[in-house]
Amino acid sequence: MLPCPLITAAALTLGLASACAAQAQIRVLKFSEATPFRMGKVTSYRLVHPEMGARRLTLNYSRSEPGNEFSQHAHDNSDDTILIFEGQGDLRQGDSRRGFRAGQSAFVPAGQIHGTITTGTGTAVMISFQTPPDMALYTGARDSSRPGAAAPKGLITPGAVKFVDFAGQNGFFVHPGMGASRVAVAHWRLKPAEKLSTAVASEGEQVLFVRKGAVIVTAESKRYRAGERDAMFIRGPAELEIRNESAGETVLIQAQAPPHSGWEKR
């Protein structure tokens, strides 16, 4: 637990911290401790989820071999943001498929039927954020590939899913300006010793996922370290300084729920 921070202009760099009635919570979640779950033929790992305290967002990590399908499903009240780090796949909606590849993401609004099929010849490595969490995903209730399972119930609306190239961006690529009301997601490339400031609003939640390299996060007088494939979960109010502590470039994915004013400033 951290003492409630004072709000300063510097806190607006990436988010807006508000007057707080609660204490901040910060946890480092090691990938080695992630819990596996299965959908179709794809095994995924949940790093951030309700059972560890998340109320506004989740983070799942997946590796899928060519031809394997993360079965079609729909989230009743949750948006889904999917990022591909390696390989390629198709986002499937009923009989329709659209390809996306490493460095691209798909934002799927609540209620839209979707699944992924790994294409090409290599393993696809992906992460996804659901905002807010959908516990049914982890129980198998959403797995339409199970024997006797009903077809997924939901919508297939042309143009509703938004595809974005994130790899070449240094900043937010999913945000309210492109139709995301529940989450803002950023891709950051930090040079050695480069720093980044962020703030989390009272009762807001933020996840930092280290794709490559390592970071030291300082909040008040405490320091936290996250390495490759680790995640950091923060519930506000909090003000953070993030520093690349690796000898090379660090690649960081940041998700905040709900999106705070400030995402458009970077």
Q: Tell whether the model's pLDDT for residue 191 goes beyond 50.
A: yes
Q: Mean pLDDT across the stretch 123-147? A: 95
Q: How many domains does the chain have?
A: 2
Q: Tell whether the model's pLDDT for residue 162 goes beyond 60.
A: yes
What pLDDT sits at residue 262? 62
What pLDDT sits at residue 221? 86
Q: Tell whether the model's pLDDT for residue 261 goes beyond 70.
A: no
Torsion of CA 178, 53, 36, 75, to 10 degrees: -40
Domain membership of residue 179 as a residue range: 9-29+170-265
Residue 90 belongs to some domain of the structure: yes
Boundary (domain end) residue, out of 145, 165, 185: 165
Summarize pLDDT for 218-242 with one digit per residue, the tens.
998 899 999 999 999 999 999 999 9
Q: Tell whether the model's pLDDT for residue 3 goes beyond 70.
A: no
* DSSP characters over 19-41: --SS-BEEEEE-GGGPEEEEETT
What pLDDT sits at residue 11? 39
Summarize pLDDT for 82-114 with one digit per residue, the tens.
999 999 999 999 999 999 999 999 999 999 999
In the structure, what pLDDT confidence band is assigned to residue 17 with cuts at 50, 70 and 90? very low
- How many Cβ atoms are within 10 Å of 109's Cβ, its own excluded? 19
What CATH number does residue 155 fall under? Answer: 2.60.120.10
Residue 238 belongs to some domain of the structure: yes
Long-range contacts of 3-9 (CB under 8 A, 24+ apart): 3/220, 4/237, 5/219, 5/220, 5/237, 5/238, 5/239, 7/199, 7/237, 7/239, 8/239
Same-domain check for residues 228 and 160 = no
Same-domain check for residues 51 and 122 = yes
Q: Mean pLDDT across the stretch 171-180? A: 94
